Every structure is written in C-alpha cells, then in structure tokens.
Chain A
Amino acid sequence: MKVPVTWLREYVETAASAHELARRLSISATEVERVIDAGVPDVDGNLGHFVVGRVLAAEAHPNADRLQLCQVDVGNPDPQQIVCGAWNFGVGATVAVGLPGARLPGFPGPLEERLLRGEVSRGMILAEDEVGLGPDHSGIMLLSDGLEPGTPLGDVLPLVDQVLDVTPTMNRPDLLSMVGIAREAAALCDGGLRLPDPEEPSATGAEPVEVAVEDFGGCPRYIGRGFRNVRVGPSPQWLRARLHLAGMRSISNVVDVTNYVMHVWGSPLHAFDRSKLAGGRIVVRRARPGETLRTLDGTVRELVPGDLLITDGERAVALAAIMGGLDSEVSEQTTEVLLEAANFEPIGILRTSERLSLRTEGSNRWEKGVDPYAAAPAAALASRMLVDLAGAEPAGSVDVNDGLPKRPVVTLRPERASALIGLDVPADEQRAILERLDFVVDDGWRVTVPTFRARDVTREIDVVEEVARVVLDRVPLTMPLRRAVAGHLTPEQLFRRSLEDVLVGAGFSEAYTWSLTPSDPDPSALRLPDPMSGEHAVLRTTLRHGLVEAARVNVDAGNEPIRLFELARVYLPSGEQLPRERWRLGGITEGGFAAARGAVEAIYEASHLPLDVRRITLGHLHPGKAAETDAGWLGELHPTLLEGAWGVFELDVADLMAPLPERILYEDVITFPAVRQDVAVAVDEEVEAGAIVAVVHEAGGAELREARVFDVYHGEQVGEGRKSVALHLVFQAPDRTLTDEEAAAVRDRIVAALAERFGAELRA
C-alpha cells in the first residue's frame, strides 16, 4: 500500500522525517519496501518557483494556431506572459504556474524564459503529469477559484511528497489504511493522532433505505446510505493528486470518494446508481445455481452457490467484496447514489476470487478480515465528501447488523512478557506501550483489544508480541543455555558426506535435478493429479532422467570432461499414504562402462566395502554392459537415450551402508612378509573375471590375502574364442612367514581349481 507522507501528516503530528517513520514502522509494525520521492525535485528553493496563477487574458498566438498567449497574474504587480499549448481554460481560470528557474521531474535543467514562435514565454502553465501529480496530459490543472494568485503552489497541492510503500503482513489488514499507519506512527514516534472526524451531513427529506441481509455469516454489517441530486464530474485537483500518489486512478468524484475513503479507513465502499436498482433495495444473499453477473470490467461471471452477492431484490448487482456490477455502475448521468459501507467475512471470498481469477483492492482487504467497526466512520467520511464534492443531498441511511463483535479481553503477566522477550521491560512501560496502541489495560492486567486488532490478538502471547515488537531493537543478543545438547551428524549423514567427497575427488561435479519428472520407468510412481506442467508430473523413483538431462545440457554447452553425480531422494510407492523416501547416489560420466565401473569401485573402496558385481539386463542400459551390486546398478547408458558412450550408475545409500562394519579390526599384514606371484591362465572368452576371482578365493583359502586381475589378453597365442587372464596373487599368513613350498602349494590349488572349473590352462 502507498502512503503519501503529506497525507499521513494530516492524521499524525510528529517531527519524524519520512525515513525515520519508515524505519520505526519497518522494525515494529510493517515492512516498508521503500520511500519514494514524488512530485517536483525538492532542491534548494525549487518550491519557490511554483505559484498559483490567475489567467487575465488568453488569446491565440499570432504565429501558431495551436498555442495560446496568456497573461497570468502570479501575485506580482505585472502579469506574466506565458505561451501555453492547452485549451481547457479561459480568462479567469485559476491555474498552477511554474516560473523560470523551476525544476520539473524528468527535466534535465530548470525552466527558462524563452521565445516561442516569436513571443516570449516566462514560465509554464502546468498539467498534472508535469509535476508528478497525475497521469493526465490532456489539459492543464484547474485549481479552486478561491485561491489568491501568488500563493505558493506547495500549500495547495502535494507538490513535493514522499510515499511509503508498505506491505503489511496478512494478520494486519488494519495497516492497509492511512488511519492504521497513522495509529502505528503515532505510537512508535510519540506523535499526536488526529483521525478524520468530519461533521456528519444531516439528511434532508429522509427516504428509507431498505437493506436485508440473509447471510450475516458472510455479511455481518451493511450500512446503506442514499443520496439525491448527485452531480457526477471530475474530482478536484487535490483529490486527484492524493489518489495518484496512493497509486489509484481518478475516475469521477463519486467513485474517487469511495476509493479515497477505502484508503483512509481500510474498509472498501461501493457506490451504486440507485436508479438502476429495481425498487432501490438491497438484499445480501448467496448465489443461486445458474445466476450470472456482468462485472464492472465487462466480463459475464458464472456464479455458483456459495458466492456472496449484493442483489437489488431481483437480480445480482455486485459480487460482494470483490467487484460491482456493470449495469448499476455510477456514470455521468447518475443523480441518485446508494453508498454501500458494509463488512464482509473473509471465508469464501478467496475461494470466489480465485475461481474467477478476480483480485481487486477490495477483495485483497476483505479476504484478510476488516474491522466491522470501520464501516461507520468510512460511511461518515464518504457522506461528507459526497456532499462537499458532488453536491449530494443525503437521503436516508440504514445500518443492518447482527450485533458487532465484542472486543477480546486477555490477561497479561508482564513478567512473563519480559521472560519470553529476554529483556526486562518494566510493567509501567508495557502498560504505556499497549495504551499507545489503543489497548485498554485495567489494574488487574486485563487487556481489552481494540476492535481493529480483534481477529489477531486473542491470547496472552499475542499481547506479548505487541510489547515485543515495540522494544524489538532493544532486545539483547544472547544464546540459549543448552544444558543438554547432541551436536553430531548421524552415521548416515556422515556417510552421505563421504560419498559426496569421494565422487568430487574422482572428478565428478554434483548436480541438482528436479524431483518431479515427465515420466518414470516405474508405472506405479506417484503422479501429481494437477501438475504445474507435463515436465514436472511424476515423483521420480530413479535419479536417471535428471542426470541424463544434466549431461545433455553440458554436451550442448561443449563442456568437458562431463562427470556428474547427484545424491538425492527418490519416492517409492509404499501402498500407504506416504511413499518411502530413499537417498540415492546416481552418476553419469563420459567414458562408458569402464568409467561407471571406476566410479563405483572408488565408492566401494572408500567405504571399505567389498564390491560384488553381477551381470544383469536393464532396459535403459547397453545390453552387454549392465551390472548390479547389492546396492544398485551400473552400466553403459543405452545409446538411444543419449548419444555417445556414457557410464551411469545408481546406488541406494541405505543398502550401500547396510553391511558397513561398526569398526574396522586390525589385521597383521606387516610382521610376516607376503609372497607375491603373478599367474596367467587361458580360459574361454565367456568366463568372467568375477567368476575367476571367486574361484581363486575359494581355492586359495586363508593364506591367499589378495587376488586381482591385472590384464586380459586376446591373441593368436591364446587361440580363437579364448583369452588370457593374468592374476596378481598375494600369499600371507598372520602368524608365520610362508615358505616358498607353502606358497607354491596354495598356487597349485588355485590353478587346479581353475582348470577343473573353467578348463583353464596355465600360461606362465
């Protein structure tokens, strides 16, 4: 909400500058996004160059059809000659004049005396957009006729202003009003509060206004006021300027009054053309099936039961709290007005406005909850203004309500407040703070909440917050006592960190990919019934899709080498309400199967886990380069999924971790020397290294410490369909030095077992 400071100062008297106000408000009341400088530049003496003028003579420029040559009284003995391009005025008009030397917003230099088509022009007759007071450039500003020529223009219009751009939190709809901001400013800056309190115009020739509320739950209060002989026309310049600074568009005096008063009291109003209401009465009720309404924006709205309507007893004339109807809109022909100053409950409004995608200044306030008491002063101010600005004659008024809500009463323990805040705020000070905020505190610390806070402050803790926010910048920075704490990561959290570090050390960079994917290999994967897009529709059961896409991004970018991993959750359907969320470690790397296998080896080795790899078949992997471990799969990505040879793997972290020993036990590998031997055997092509090593271990027994394939050779010497597998063997006993004979015996056992199992021939 935009809060012009000159306007605010009408309600609160304080020496605080706009920036000081912004600072106090932002710490203790509402966010102030920024302080906007508005109007003409407030530089030395600039305001002195703007005065009220009266046009003494106006005639066509002798050398230019589209210009007028004016003589303007600006309070000096001699009139000022000014050339002007506007024609919306004549002799006697009271206008705003910028004298030579004046600086206008958006102009690089000051106005200068200059010749325009041969005639000297000493200044400028101003349009509202030239001084930042409105959007209009169709003519110059016309001021009230009572003003004396030479009067400083700054006394008449907010020529220099600052605007606070405030965004109150949703619990403070009371701050969506000038009055609300003024109350806080007065309390926080020790200022005097002067809320608008106009003299109520007295009704002439009372005509009853008939209002029936069928649903007090949705509409607890409805004040209706009738006006006759209303003259709809443009608003005076001061009102146009205020609305402009507050971010609103001037429409007509009647509509501007409703918007202005909404801005003052935070309680939206609506004006109907009373002659367009059948029978001139108001019935507030819920919509019936099939009802429609053409709203002010010209759209025909299909209504559903539950939508709250203002009707004229026959048909809908407004979507309550959201937008008026087009047919009963106030127009230039309107002479009879029915002013609505009502109160609507938030429930249901959001639902209707979301369904219709229709959010308005009004609905934004109602859906947060507006004080029903605010309707009365809003109605009073609007009535006064309609009388003053549109010559309206009040004709009847009614206030229909089901009893206004009582103010909550809460007991506060001041010592409890101090204890929770962590600052000793003396009881007297707490009382003073609350009273400044319009709370009433009795001797027993029973705190009566003001009507405009009744929804938000209902418990002791809410009252504590009122004290806390005012002293917030005095609260000392302390630390909790922490008498019992447990600051450590769990084994699984530590393990996840180590997995990340192993892969980073192996040259992999970490990717983050969406948990929601377009599709998933598991047909039972959880699907969002109403996804944001087809790209983010399914909760993934594998990291693969995201990693392939991440690799593709890098291929397209020409990056290399491309090695990526992700450690994130997958969501496995469980048959219950919540899926099983499992941490997975996935990777994709250039270099095909070997690169994936290398990464998986590094992971297992760093984790001190034995790696047992078995051949499998998986649809997304190369049919000859696919394998599984106890914790997941690895292989070469099927080339239809991404061009090139890509190694991929995915391991379940909990499964990977399951066999981890709690601690590692020492084995003596130092005292007694090891005997190292290399052996090469020729076997059939299809015999896999893993099977050979398994047999070697089985045959080797306790004295075989290590067996590792270090070379596989194909060639003529080995023969067609055969290969030579070279093994590095290490023999060692923990309790003695093995003799050469013992080592040879183990080796022979191994060779014999390989011969028996695979028909292996010893080669060297």
Chain B
Amino acid sequence: MDVEALEQAALAAVAAASSTDAIEAVRVEYLGRKSELKLALREVRDRETGITLNAARERIEGAVGAREAELERAELDRRLAEESVDVTLPVGGHERGHLHLITQIRREVEDVFLGLGYRVVDGREVETTRYNFDGLNFPPGHPARSPLATLFLDEDTLLRTETSPSQVRTMEAQQPPVYIVSLGRVYRRDTPDATHTPVFHQVEGLAVDEGITLGDLTGTLDFLLKALFGAERRTEFRTHYFPFTEPSIEAYVSCHVCDGAGCAVCRHSGWIEVGGAGMVDPKLYEFVGYDSERYSGFAFGWGLERIAMLRHEFPDLRELWRNDLRFARQF
C-alpha cells in the first residue's frame, strides 16, 4: 500500500470537506474501523512500517480535527447570524406601576432629613383646636380659626390646617434635642381650582436644641432647596409673619427654569417663593414646658404640591387627585 498516496488523498478529502457531516464521512473513510489505514495497522508486522503508518494516521487525525473545529465554528456562526432579532422591538411583560408624584417628593424630602439626622413623625389629621391653634399661638379671632377657612367637626375638633400640630405634640412628649420632620395631608376650606385643593400635603420641620440660630434655619433650607431644585440654585430669605414663629421668614429659590433671568414660571422675578419658616416663638415653649432661655429652635412648613408643580411645570393641581394614569405614568 502506498502510505504517502493514501495520506495525500486523505488530506485532500479533509480540505474538500465543507460541512461537519462531510468531515465525519472523511473520518470514517480514512480513520474508521474499516478504513484502509486501520486495516493495514492491524496487519502490520514490522516496527518501521508501524511507525510510518501511525505517523500518517496522526497527521490525518490532526487535519480532520482541525478542519472539524473550523467547520463547527463556521456552522455556529451561521446559526447565530440566522438567530438575529430586531433588538429595537419592545417586548413588555414587566409593567411597573408608578408612585404618586407627591409620594416621590415626600420620600425625597424624608431622605434629605433622615440623612441630616432627623426623625420622621406621623402626625394626626383630625386635631383639636388646642393643638392646631392654641398651642401654635393663633390669637383669638385669627382668620384661620373661622369656619370660613377651616373644616370643623365640632367647636373643638377640626381637620388640621397645617402639619404644625405635630410640632406641639412632639415637644409635649419629649425634651430637646428635637429634630423631626412630619409630612402629610392638611385641610382648608378652599374651593378647588388650578392652584387650590381643600386637601393638600405639607412637610413640617422642627429643630429645637441649645444654640440653634436663624442661620441654622437658612442653612438647612438652603440644603433642602438645593436637593430639590438643583445644586446650582441660589436661595434667598425674606422677612415674613406667622403666629408660631418669631422671627419669621419666607424662603425663595432662584428659578430653575430661567436661572434667575425671568420667565413665566417665576412670574418674571427670577425667584420662586417656596414656603414659610421661622424661629419657634417662645410662646410655644411656654405651652409645652421648655426653657426658652436655654433652648432655641426653628420650624418650617411647606406645601409638597407647590414643589411638585414648580418642579414639573404642570398647570393644574387637581390632576394630582384625579389619578388619571396618563398623568401618573409621566413621573
């Protein structure tokens, strides 16, 4: 038998094989149990012939193996190419819902203050006039005490008009230091329109400790406003009046839409009024039994809806209560 010729023929067949099936046929023909080479090897008697035949067999096996790997890879590549899909086609199937926009802002505010070391207090919504007015130094005859402004259940019971009663309750329950925020629903007798709803949400903040200053208040509000409206915002504080704080201020943030140049959102002033704040009036300390010479503190109460409206520029507050999913899904 002509080993050399056989090897040449085998290698030519390997080269010619164009599929994994073809290379398998080549393997069977040249290396299979009944192949000429295997038969010859079985009958070999002398060492030299054996070495020659085995060397040829190894070379053919090597060539078959290499070609087989090559062909397998080519076939895999071809199959993968055929499996190509339109990756731009949506499949769905995991539709999530959406937290209400006010819940999202509520959590943001809570997280800011949790990070600053404040507790979150759940106040109650049905309150007594004692906590809603008396403890907050609303004088008799104050317009807020009128049933034209406030929803009463009876003479002494009402739906809280601000989150501030939770301040009084918290201070009554513990001595300073107090660092809390309280967020939730508040109620006023306002006819619903684009900027009023009889139910809305406030965040109340209260810090009472030794050595708390007006600067601590403005610093804290500056931190919060930048967290809500962007680190590049500027803040400004203007004098104001509330029965439960003295001095009182109103917080402003530079307009996030025009950055102070003036636009419709800021009514061309460059500034946006966010809400009221102030140093806790000593009368409140008297009411809860704190030593107003030793302790000082600040408080603020802001509307969450206002923050939402300013930040997302939607025109009508009532959308927050209509629960149309087309609105909810945007946030």
Contact = CB atoms under 8 A, between A and B. Distances in A.
A2 B102 CA distance: 37
Nearest to B219: A477
Given A420-B279, A532-B191, A504 B209 contact: no
Contact of B213 (A170, A420, A565, A577): A420
Contacts of A462: 246
A34 B199 contact: no
A493 B215 contact: no
A514 B216 contact: no
A431 interface: no
A553 B319 CA distance: 11
Interface string B254-298: 000000000000011100000000010110000000000000100
A63 interface: no
Interface string A407-447: 00000000000011111000000000000000000000000
B322 interface: yes
Interface stretch (A379-387, A467-475, A610-618): A467-475
A233 B318 CA distance: 51
A61 B223 CA distance: 72
A88 B97 CA distance: 72
Contact of A482 (B177, B239, B323): B177
B143 interface: yes
B231 interface: no
B309 interface: no
A530 B220 CA distance: 40
B247 A464 contact: yes
A671 B72 CA distance: 41
Interface string B140-167: 0101001110011110110100000000
B31 interface: no
Contact of A512 (B96, B153, B320): B320
Interface hub of A478, A484, A529, A554 (most chain B Cβ within 10 A): A478
Contacts of B147: 530
A354 B148 contact: yes
Interface in B292-331: 296, 320-326, 328-329
Contacts of A515: 125, 159, 185, 187, 199
A609 B106 CA distance: 27
Contacts of A171: 241
B229 interface: no
Interface stretch (A22-30, A695-703, A714-722, A752-760): A22-30
Interface stretch (B13-21, B42-50, B63-71, B115-123): B115-123
B193 to A, nearest CB: 13
B40 to A, nearest CB: 54
B244 interface: no
Interface residues of B, number: 85
A169 B245 CA distance: 13
Contacts of A459: 282
B113 interface: yes
A603 B240 CA distance: 47
Nearest to A557: B324
A419 B292 CA distance: 13
A504 B218 contact: no
Nearest to B180: A486
Nearest to B103: A510
Given A510-B97, A514-B199, A526-B153, A478 B216 contact: yes
A454 interface: no
B281 to A, nearest CB: 7
Contacts of A514: 199, 321
A411 B95 CA distance: 66
Interface hub of A346, A473, A562, A577 (most chain B Cβ within 10 A): A577
Contact of A485 (B95, B118, B247, B328): B118
A507 B147 CA distance: 42
B99 A510 contact: yes
A479 B125 contact: no
Given A169-B241, A510-B97, A553 B323 contact: yes
A27 B120 contact: no
Contacts of B268: 34
Contacts of A483: 177, 209
A512 B323 contact: yes
A563 B146 contact: no
A469 B323 CA distance: 43
A550 B198 CA distance: 18
A536 interface: yes
Contacts of A480: 179, 207, 209, 212, 216, 220
A516 B320 CA distance: 16
A536 B159 CA distance: 13
B198 A532 contact: yes
A469 B247 contact: yes
Contacts of B119: 486-488
Contact of B238 (A31, A354, A481, A531): A31
A347 B143 CA distance: 11
A509 B247 contact: no
B11 interface: no
B239 A478 contact: no
A351 B102 CA distance: 37
A476 B219 CA distance: 7
B154 to A, nearest CB: 7
A554 B327 CA distance: 11
B329 A509 contact: yes
B223 A27 contact: no
B251 to A, nearest CB: 12
B238 A528 contact: no
A552 to B, nearest CB: 10
Given A26-B238, A528-B151, A581 B143 contact: no
Contact of A528 (B115, B148, B152, B249): B152
Contacts of B328: 509-511
A487 B177 contact: no
Contacts of B204: none
B114 A488 contact: yes
B171 to A, nearest CB: 15
B97 A504 contact: yes
Contact of A553 (B103, B152, B214, B322): B322
B143 A468 contact: no
B222 to A, nearest CB: 5
A420 B214 contact: yes
Nearest to B115: A487
A419 B214 CA distance: 9
B126 interface: yes
B155 to A, nearest CB: 10
B36 interface: no
A505 B96 contact: yes
Interface in B18-55: none
Interface in B186-233: 187, 189, 191, 198-199, 207, 209, 211-216, 218-220, 222-223
5 contacts: A30-B239, A34-B267, A507-B95, A515-B199, A559-B324
Interface of A: 26-31, 34, 169-172, 346-347, 350-351, 354, 419-423, 459, 461-462, 464-465, 468-469, 472-473, 475-490, 493, 497, 500, 503-516, 526, 528-532, 536, 539, 550, 553-554, 557, 559, 561-565, 568-569, 571, 577-579, 581
Interface of B: 95-100, 102-103, 107, 110, 113-120, 122, 124-128, 141, 143, 146-148, 151-154, 156-157, 159, 177, 179, 185, 187, 189, 191, 198-199, 207, 209, 211-216, 218-220, 222-223, 235-241, 246-250, 267-269, 279, 281-282, 296, 320-326, 328-329
- Which 7 residue pairs are nearest across A and B when measured between Cβ atoms? A422-B213, A422-B215, A485-B117, A169-B241, A465-B247, A477-B219, A469-B239
